[in-house]
Each structure stands twice: as structure tokens, then as C-alpha cells.
Chains A and B, each alone.
Chain A
Amino acid sequence: QQQVKQSPQSLIVQKGGISIINCAYENTAFDYFPWYQQFPGKGPALLIAIRPDVSEKKEGRFTISFNKSAKQFSLHIMDSQPGDSATYFCAAKPHQGAQKLVFGQGTRLTINP
């Protein structure tokens, strides 16, 4: 069964620090790796996404690092702010087969002021 394993389950970072969330996937061809951000009482919203032909993508303070050989990808939040406190989900889209995103288990991020 296709899986994406996300860690840590929860993370506390001081304001101004770097938040790092990791995801690893198993032996399947995925062609799109999005990260979603979810605030309490809201639906997940796309934060940043990457395709496997690049190793890094940066948008403002958010960076995805992608290691195809290790089947791992991670989200880095630089200069973390209290407003970044949310639950973050990584996901992966299969290139073929079942037409459903495979989500990680989520990481609850808390940024202390």
C-alpha cells in the first residue's frame, strides 16, 4: 500500500527559528509533492509544492527540499513566526494508478513568541 510517513507528529520552535518537517515515501512513482497548511477551523490550503525533477523550491520563508534517491522530502520554514502555528500535511500524487493524494499523518507546529 502506498504510504507517506511524516515526522515529527508535533514540533515546538521558538520565534525566529527554523522549523523542519520531514516526509518519506515508499516504492511508488509519485509526480507531485504538495505541502498543505491547516489552521484550526479551516480546511487545508496549499502552501508550496514540488515536482521530482527539481531538488529544491523556495517561496518566501518556505522551502521544500527533495531527495529523489532517498525518497524523502522536507519542508523548511525560516524565521518561524507565531502566525505559522498550524498543522502541516505533506502529500504525494501517484503518476498512475489510483487517483488519490497520499497524505502524511500531519505535524502540529507551534511557534512560541
Chain B
Amino acid sequence: DTAVSQTPKYLVTQMGNDKSIKCEQNLGHDTMYWYKQDSKKFLKIMFSYNNKELIINETVPNRFSPKSPDKAHLNLHINSLELGDSAVYFCASSQDWVNQPQHFGDGTRLSIL
């Protein structure tokens, strides 16, 4: 009965590869988010979708492309991975923007070799 689930939990890959992270929420929420948490634990919003529509694109390189096939899923595809992409990526959801709080998944730790 996991509320927000992300796969995979760990992702180790070479520089230059393309990878995807999947996120699903079973809370019936309308809004989903992607965050990046760096080694200093700082949480930075990357994208926000509301009912499959992009709301926030926080000056993220266009190598990062979110895809929302339906409002329960928000996947993150990353092209041409770079060393600086190493981080923990969190998916989150909320009922909508006005009605918080946000529920977070357990994160995907991406390590670039």
C-alpha cells in the first residue's frame, strides 16, 4: 500500500548513458513533483505537473525530460548523463497545489561512474 513509489531505488551507470526513473502514486492526487537532493541534503524542485500538465520547470537542463502518461505517473528520463547528475531524486505528490502536504517517495540514488 505504498503511497508514492519510485523505481529503481539505486541506479549506477556510466557517463553519457540515458536512464529513466519511474514514479507512481496511488493517492489520487492531481499534482506530482520531481526533486533533486544533493550531497549536502538540499532539496531542489525540478518539475511540477498538475493533471499531466507541466506547471514548473525549474531551469533544469533539457537533458531531463519528465513524462506524465496519466495523473498517477510522472517519469523522469535523463539523456547523456553527466557526473554532476549524481544525486538522490525524489518524486512527490499532493492533492493539488493549494492542498498540501506533499507525500514523497523513498528516492532513487543515481550514481554516475
Footprint of B on A, CB under 8 Å?
32, 34, 36, 38, 41-46, 49, 87, 89, 93, 98-101, 103, 105-106, 108
Tell me whether B90 and A32 are in contact (CB under 8 A): no
* Of B4, B41, B97, B103, the contact of A99 (CB 8 Å cutoff): B97
Q: Which residue of A lies closest to B41 (CB)?
A: A106
Q: Which residue of A lies closest to B58 (CB)?
A: A100
Is B86 an interface residue, CB under 8 A from the partner? no
Tell me whether A43 and B104 are in contact (CB under 8 A): yes
**Contacts A41-B106, A43-B90, A44-B90 given; does A103 touch B101 at CB 8 Å:** no
Q: How many A-B residue pairs have CB under 8 A?
A: 52
Is B56 an interface residue, CB under 8 A from the partner? yes
* Of A34, A43, A98, A106, the contact of B101 (CB 8 Å cutoff): A34
Residues of A contacting B: mostly: strand
Q: Which residues on the A side are within 8 Å of B4 (C-beta)?
A: 43
23 A-B residue pairs with Cβ-Cβ distance under 8 Å, sorted by A, are A34-B101, A36-B104, A38-B41, A42-B106, A42-B107, A43-B4, A43-B104, A43-B106, A44-B43, A44-B90, A44-B104, A46-B101, A49-B101, A87-B41, A89-B43, A93-B100, A99-B97, A100-B48, A100-B56, A100-B58, A103-B43, A106-B43, A108-B41
Interface residues of B in 23-75 (CB under 8 A from A): 40-43, 45, 48, 50, 55-56, 58
**Contacts A43-B105, A43-B106 given; does A106 touch B100 at CB 8 Å:** no
Q: Which residues on the B side are within 8 Å of A34 (C-beta)?
A: 100-101
Q: Which residues on the A side are within 8 Å of B100 (C-beta)?
A: 32, 34, 49, 93, 101
Tell me whether A45 and B56 are in contact (CB under 8 A): no
Once bound together, how far apart are the Cα atoms of A44 and B58, in whole Å?
Answer: 20
Once bound together, how far apart are the Cα atoms of A99 and B55, in whole Å?
Answer: 8
**Contacts A41-B106, A45-B104, A49-B101 given; does A106 touch B55 at CB 8 Å:** no
Once bound together, how far apart are the Cα atoms of A15 and B102, in whole Å?
Answer: 30
